[in-house]
Structure 1
Amino acid sequence: MRKLIYGINISLDGCCDHTKFGGEKDVHDYFRELLENADLVIYGRKTYELMVPFWPQVAEAQSMDKTSNAFAKVFAGLKRIVVSKTIDLVDDQHTTIIHDNLKEEILKLKQQPGKAISTGGVELPAKLIELGLIDEFHLVVHPVIVGQGRRLFTEMNLPENLGLKLMASDTLSSGCIVLRYERIT
């Protein structure tokens, strides 16, 4: 079965608003490498609209620095799913829409052959965690306290603690710490 992997940037105080801290090149490299091991990304509407068409356009124009362009190229080559009750049509040949039956649809995707499935953002991953569908968690902790902004997992409602096992940790040259956890089954 394919793994569903959740990746997110956070500050030391749990802020997950990407506009509150920098876009270090080694972080882009980390997420590029993570996406190289996936062939599908799943986002909620908000995250999808942040990522598409921005990154596919960067991939086509190669309009940013080398690290960002490399990330964009990998991202542009992935199949994409947007989970939304409000979007009926997307202008992107690589994207399909899931409107309802989230758990069933994700379970079907996990059963299909292929590489890992990646997700990001806040609201959709929280729902996927509640449904027991996330297999790995990749948290990139930035060495900054922002004191404001959206906090990770504040909307999530779990009936009991979710056990995780630390599988790896790494310190990037920027000082960010990558923590990779697997769900204990």
Structure 2
Amino acid sequence: MRNVVYAINTSLDGCCDHTKFYPEEETMEYFTNLTRDADTFLYGRKTYELMVPYWPDVAKNPAGQNDRKSDIEFARAFDAVGNIIVFSESLKSAAGEKTRIVRTNLHDEVLKLKQEPGKNILTGGVAIPSQLAAAGLIDEYRFVVHPVVIGEGRRLFEGISLQEKLQIKLVDSTVLKSGCVALRYAKQ
């Protein structure tokens, strides 16, 4: 069975709004490696619109938008992922043939995806991962905690509704040169 992996950058105070801070090169390399281990992305509309077309455009024209090697490598890894599934009631159309919009039951769709052969299923953002966590469908949590307190912005698991406390276990931690800490948790 395939794993659903929730990966996101966060500040010490739980802010995961990408406009409030930007990951340094080592963090981008961390996310590039995670992306290379996946063949499917699960997003909500907001996260999808932040990622696409930005990263595919950087992959197609690396000199046009970005000079950081780590960003270009991430863009290439992102663009190589074969499937992007967007859970949205409001998104009218998707960019590219790799994207499929799903308007049906999140739980049933993800259970079906997990049973298909393939690599990891990677998710990010806030709304969809909160719903996946509440349904017990996330197998791994990968948080890169940045040594900064933002004081505002979207928060990790904002709006999550749990029937019971979610038990996860720390599997690995890595301190990056920047002072960020990459944490890997598994569902118990």
SS at match of 2:48: helix
Shift of residue 34 of structure 1?
0.4
Between the aligned partners of 1:153 and 1:60, the Cα distance in structure 2 is 33
| Map of 2:69 onto structure 1 | 66
Comparing 94-103 with 2-11, greater Cα deviation is found at: 94-103
Cα separation, 1, equivalents of 2:17 and 2:50: 12
Equivalent in 149, 166, 175 of residue 171 of structure 1:
175
Structure 2: segments with no counterpart, 5+ residues = none
Whether the aligned pair in 1 keeps the contact of 2:127 and 2:158 (CA below 8 Å) is no
Match of 2:14 in 1: 14
What pairs with 1:92-171 in structure 2 (closer than 5 Å)?
A: 92-171=96-175
Q: Which portions of structure 1, spanning 4 or more consecutive aligned residues, are displaced by more than 4 angstroms?
A: none
For the residues of structure 2 that align with 1:7 and 1:173, how far apart are their CA atoms? 19
3-state DSSP of counterpart to 2:19:
helix
Measured on the aligned residues, the alpha-carbon RMSD in Å equals 0.9
Matched with 1:85 is 89
Give the C-alpha shift of residue 71 in structure 1: 0.2
Q: 2:79 is matched with which residue?
A: 76
Instruction: Confirm or deny: 8 A CA contact 2:52 2:95 kept in the other structure.
Output: no
How far apart are the structure 2 equivalents of 1:160 and 1:102? 20
3-state SS of paired residue (2:59): helix
Cross-structure match for 2:36: 36
- Distance in 2 between the 1:60 and 1:36 partners? 17
Q: What is the TM-score normalised by the length of structure 1? A: 0.97
2:130, 2:160 within 8 Å by CA — same for their partners in 1?
Answer: yes
When the two structures are aligned, how many residues end up with a matched partner?
184
Mapped partners of 2:93, 2:39: distance in 1: 22
Deviations 1:147-185 (A, max 9, x none): 12222112001011111111000011111001100010x
2:31 is paired with a residue whose SS is: helix
The 2-side partners of 1:155 and 1:125 are apart by 11
Distance 2:157 2:115 in 1: 27
1:181 alignment partner, one of 173, 180, 185 = 185
How far residue 129 of structure 1 moved from its aligned partner, in angstroms, is 0.7
Deviates more, 1:3-12 or 1:144-153: 144-153
SS of the equivalent of 1:18 reads coil
Offset of 1:91 from its aligned partner?
2.5
Identity of matched residues, %: 51
